[in-house]
A and B are shown apart, each in its own frame.
Chain A
Amino acid sequence: MKFVDEYRDPAAARALVAHIDHLAGDDHFKFMEVCGGHTHTIYRHGIEHVLPSTVELVHGPGCPVCVIPMGRVDDAIALAETPGVIFTSFGDMMRVPGSNGTLLGAKARGADVRFVYSPLDALRIASENPDREVIFFAVGFETTAPSTAVTLLRARALGVRNFRVFCNHVTIVPPIKAILDSPDLRLDGFLGPGHVSTVVGNRPYRFVPAQYGKPLVTAGFEPLDILQAIAMLLTQIREGRCEVENQYTRVVRDEGNPRALAVLAEVFELRPHFEWRGLGFISQSALKLRPEFAELDAELHYAVPGVRVADPKACQCGEVLKGVIKPWECKVFGTACTPETPIGTCMVSSEGACAAYYNFGRLHREAAVTLGRTR
């Protein structure tokens, strides 16, 4: 594990932290990591507690399960309970509460809800069950949307007539813009998402420095990747630069994956607006099937309730997703809301800030409190 050791080398981490401390000086900086995978790394490795107190990380909206609003979960459950339907979903979405329970609950009541790993699994189920109607619950950012697009193209090419997609794909740029426009939070820069950027590339983020004057550094998922990206953000600020940089050059290319982008453009178009949990309605922030694919669109084929449902009052996922509060500052965190009995989405997904903090981060924080190093 030579490579792994290099990226987790404590001496290298200490040197980077000292460099970050030096760059930050006496000023205070607040950076948002957009991606749930980064949040996970940060809590898993206790990065918040090795950073100097001058550098604060806040968690962003880049958890695809977390941002699905309750109304869409209700729609999914209504589709799942339609007679004759086999409803297929990624495992993460099965435990997300709507206003009246979860997909798992619907399954327990008799609905045919099946866990799939890939949209192609759902298409196969449709091929094998020609007398049933199969719906795939599509969620995710641009990391997973191309897979749904390819599956839809394949369904059309094969003439599978009993397969449809309930599309909830979202795009990464609009929520970043919404957060920058929000008066709640003053940020000094962003750690750009890793895997989404393998698809979209680095160019879509150029508005962040150009229009908002904030630097953005696309980062990898290793502890040293995160520390290095923080150092790159501070270096930009200290040198008077403000641009999009790529720390994760091992995987991310500036132009992204052109073929995946082409497939997305062929199959999907932007919705005029879409509701995000915690962030409200954001215009042109989600994907729907183009009219040429109307036959495959579950929302057009079935009567979907489409009712907007407010989040439970006790749940503060919205504030967590906007980075306004930390998970442990939520009133129900760790008491009424745990990974076993989640109230909010951020506690369901392993990429959610609350679940990551519950599983890993609080141990580091408790240790830090014990050592008198909390903040």
Chain B
Amino acid sequence: MCLGIPGQITELMDEHEHLARVDVSGVGRVVNIGLLEDERLQPGDWVLIHVGFAMSKIDEEEAQLALASLQMMGAAYTDEVQALLSSGSAFDARPGRSA
């Protein structure tokens, strides 16, 4: 849970809810970017994601490094990526809405 998963922002979705769509290894997922509000994130920016939240803005170089580390680290970390990718509509908690 401490190793961040790198993702590239593809779409800012809901400004009020701080949601953005990110691309993680070619799969699109929604994450919360509220903790990086001061960074004024834009599509194309890279972020490190921890438990569904973008926690730091990074550059492409760091994103590649983090991704390569994840790929090397075996099942525990591929599980983490898989968990992010499969958590689906997790990032909007209101009933009846899926993000």
Contacts and interface: CB of A to CB of B under 8 A. Distances in A.
B68 A150 contact: no
Interface string A220-239: 11100000000000000000
Interface residues of B, number: 45
A117 B51 contact: yes
B8 interface: no
Interface residues of A, number: 61
A37 B35 CA distance: 22
A139 B25 CA distance: 27
B76 A350 contact: yes
Residue of B35, B36, B37, B95 ringed by the most chain A CB atoms within 10 A: B35
A146 B51 CA distance: 10
Nearest to B76: A350
Given A120-B90, A121-B90, A251-B58, A4 B65 contact: yes
A15 interface: no
A120 B91 contact: yes
A195 B3 contact: yes
Given A147-B53, A259-B38, A3 B64 contact: yes
Contact of A158 (B2, B53, B91, B94): B94
Nearest to A349: B76
A118 B1 CA distance: 10
B48 A195 contact: yes
A121 B64 contact: no
B73 A40 contact: yes
A7 B62 CA distance: 10
Interface in B62-99: 62, 64-66, 68-69, 72-74, 76-77, 79-80, 83-84, 86-87, 89-95
A124 B89 CA distance: 9
A341 interface: no
Contact of A250 (B59, B68, B73, B77): B59
Given A150-B35, A158-B94, A258-B38, A121 B2 contact: no
B68 to A, nearest CB: 4
A332 interface: no
B53 A146 contact: yes
A237 B77 CA distance: 36
Given A92-B1, A259-B36, A123 B93 contact: yes
A119 B51 CA distance: 7
A241 B38 CA distance: 34
Nearest to A36: B2
B2 A118 contact: no
A118 B53 contact: yes
Nearest to A258: B38
Interface in A37-60: 37, 40-41, 44
A325 interface: no
Contacts of B84: 117
Contact of A222 (B51, B69, B89, B90): B69
A361 to B, nearest CB: 13
Given A222-B69, A250-B59, A259 B35 contact: yes
Contact of B95 (A127, A258, A260): A127
A35 interface: yes
19 contacts: A1-B64, A3-B64, A3-B65, A40-B73, A115-B83, A118-B52, A120-B93, A121-B87, A130-B95, A140-B2, A150-B34, A195-B48, A195-B50, A198-B56, A221-B3, A251-B62, A257-B56, A259-B34, A259-B35
Interface of A: 1-4, 7, 35-37, 40-41, 44, 62-65, 90-92, 115-121, 123-124, 126-128, 130, 139-141, 143-144, 146-147, 150, 154-155, 158, 160, 195-196, 198-199, 220-222, 250-251, 257-260, 263, 350-351, 355, 359
Interface of B: 1-4, 32, 34-38, 48, 50-53, 55-56, 58-62, 64-66, 68-69, 72-74, 76-77, 79-80, 83-84, 86-87, 89-95
Given A3-B65, A143-B50, 11 more contacts: A1-B68, A37-B3, A120-B52, A126-B93, A141-B2, A144-B2, A150-B34, A195-B55, A196-B2, A257-B55, A359-B74
